[in-house]
Structure 1
Amino acid sequence: MRYFALLLLLVGPLACTELTSVPGDCPTFCPSGTIESKDSIFTDIIVRDSSYRGYVQGYQAEAMTAADIPGVIDSRAFFVTNKMTTDTTLAGDSIPIPYSVDSARLRLIMVRRDTLATNLRLKLYAIPVTSDSTSTFVSLQPYFAGPVVDSLNISAILALPEIHDTAGQRLFGDSVFRTDSAGHVITTSDSGRTLTLLWHLDSLQAPLVPADSGQIGFGLRVAADSLATAALGTLESGANAAVSWYFHFTKPDTVTSTPDSVINQVATRAATFDSFVFDRTIQPLDSNLTVGGVPSARSLLRVDLPPWMRDSIDVVRATLILVPVAPVAGAPADSFELRGLPVLSDVGAKSPLTGILTGKTAIRLNSADTVRMELTDLVRNWALDSTQTRSVMLGQVPEAASYSEIRFYSSRSPAFRPALHITYVKRYPFGIP
């Protein structure tokens, strides 16, 4: 048996060739072809592309942008707090006792800013509590032209040394904070990218008005020596504004057996509505592909893969190529992400989307460079499964949180139409045993 096994080892190499001094030659079992990759730009593969607007309104966005770029954009944020009772009625007495406001603390969360901005300031204005989704830049202009309620110099406070105090955890939500002589407090999170701004306001700056049901409205403008832009959190992101009222009332001796006593309390009311307005006119959709803006716009691209690509190749890489009509003007910090979401079923503007096999790329403001988005996984899936809907929806992330929008040439512009750059190899022809 041992000699038989040794004989098999000696005879095995001769099964493929008679020349033991050269590599094996097995034409029956070895592949007859070679791997050959091809690189092609398909300029007519994207068809029936369209744009739609109205997906997300400014008051539904995850952030509200305040910016002041001369000659480009003037964007202002605003919010209105929830209602609050302005008096109380004690047991045994039917006469309401009014609250006397001592002070208020306003909390704002800044989720984005340009860290290169110098002398960055946020200005607070009083606006009507009736401000809502119908408010426009023009209708709110008189209130932003009025006196400033308060101003917070973000750059100056961030330049101050940190204060480490355990009492700050109870007062400000963080034991590490910075503060100025006016009582403004800033705490940082997310490696300094997110700022929590706390304003100390007196009863004149933040009055509790019974006729307004305890609501109060504030508008915000940003200013800086340069790069004046910032984004503030909203209700949709869970980082909304809130006002804490510090007040007192007198409990009379007519309802208790003790002398008159002063009761001190605090009540917090979150924003019930927030949004932003800007002076740029919303341009109607045209023959180009539009993404972003307020209300947000999306673009649907349909891809017509040729039959030979669906059953005879393996996709190595696929890149979507888009040519902007013009640079997106604005502050560099207001750059955004362009995302391509696969379409589950193509029914036009309301096509259901999936977050699987998505593509994404960054849109840099003030740049007219050609935009490229990697869609390798998605195109490979289309090539492997002929039942898939071969469409992709382009959208801005986050949507409607900024004034910025971009327009690309569509398939109706032959010289600059969207294209797919695909690198692929033909299926490897293995031998048949």
Structure 2
Amino acid sequence: MSKAGRILFALVAGLVLGIVAARVAPGLAAGAATVAEPIGALWLNALQMTIVPLVVALLVTGIAASAEAAKAGRLAVKALVLFVILLWSSALVAAVMTPLLLDLFPLPAAAATALRQALTTTAPVGQVPGFGDFVRGIVPTNPVTAAASDAILPLIVFTLVFAFAVIRLGPTQRRLIVDFFKAIENAMLIVINWVLWIGPVGVLALAYVVGVRAGSAAFGALLHYVLIVTATGTIVWLAAWPLALFGARIPLGRFTRALLPSQAVALSTQSSLATLPAMLKATDRLGIPVAPAGIVLPMAVAIFRATGPVMNLAVAIYVAYWFGVDLTPMRLAAGVAAAAVTTMGAVGIPGQASFITSIAPICISMGVPIEPLGLLIAVETLPDLMRTLGNVSMDVAVTATVTRNSDLGRAPTPEETA
């Protein structure tokens, strides 16, 4: 069984065991829950301890990779600009659509209350200040203090400034610093893999506690969560068609026919990288020459994840909704900024690892509890299907749009041919 499968099995087993135990022997079940709760908390703490060093390392290496990609010429710069625009747009879609979907299809109040009471160790973190304090606090006076106090947005701002300064250094110094942060990134990923290896134990403990205290309402709540988050990703997935139509002047039917084989590969592999050959064939069917597609499409796979901001922010908003955190404009603004900026750095790392490292900073910046992520990571396999579908579709649409007016992308005139 895969790592994701083992964690999902542990979630279901823990919930069922907790529900049955609470009905058969309530007193004994409650006592066992008090033992299981700190075990789950220890596992969550182990995941949380990697967040700050990994986020900093990913941002530095991500900016460096983007700068290297931009050296490929005007076509690469044009692609990078479109990537940034789409990532921020993706985050804004989540800020608008997730609250709307939750209003239209609310989680039953009884289920939300039961779940809040089940996870008694959760508490808001990184409280968002008022507008004036928020603006003043964006630039940290001490980045180390910002990291220690979970002030994620100021830390991100400092890291971005530092990363852009690094790429202005000479080749030797730049390579030295980037390699240093790449080593930190790799070391933290090893730690996360260790933590995820024992993930079934932590998830089993957390799920047992929820099963005892929330009962069968937990299953309905997790299904509701999967549907809401997947729906937000579906919006970005569908946006690939109008982007291809208006950005690349490709008819919708033609785009669909060219894309279908890569969609099948995406569903079977849940990996954009594994789908790259199929995506290259899709661009060929769309009449995009190999030269520009060979520049833009690998860039998109390496540093662009269109569904990241929308689905990551949707998770944070859902947890806020679940725990009754007031989603003020400042909280949403902080979440949009964190979701858009951290996504590029998280591209290329394993799905379950990126779930924590991408979403926890968003939750912290919004003052939302991160403890529920320990349960939600277990059902990430299902929304991850939509993540991959959306990323693959947008990668092809972006490639077609960027190359449409490029010298490499247009067909030669008769005079040029002669």
Which one has more relative contact order, counting CA pairs under 8 Å at least 6 apart? 2
Looking at secondary structure, tell me which structure has more strand per residue. 1
Name the TM-score class by shorter chain.
under 0.3
- Which of 1 and 2 has greater Rg? 1
Looking at secondary structure, tell me which structure has more helix per residue. 2
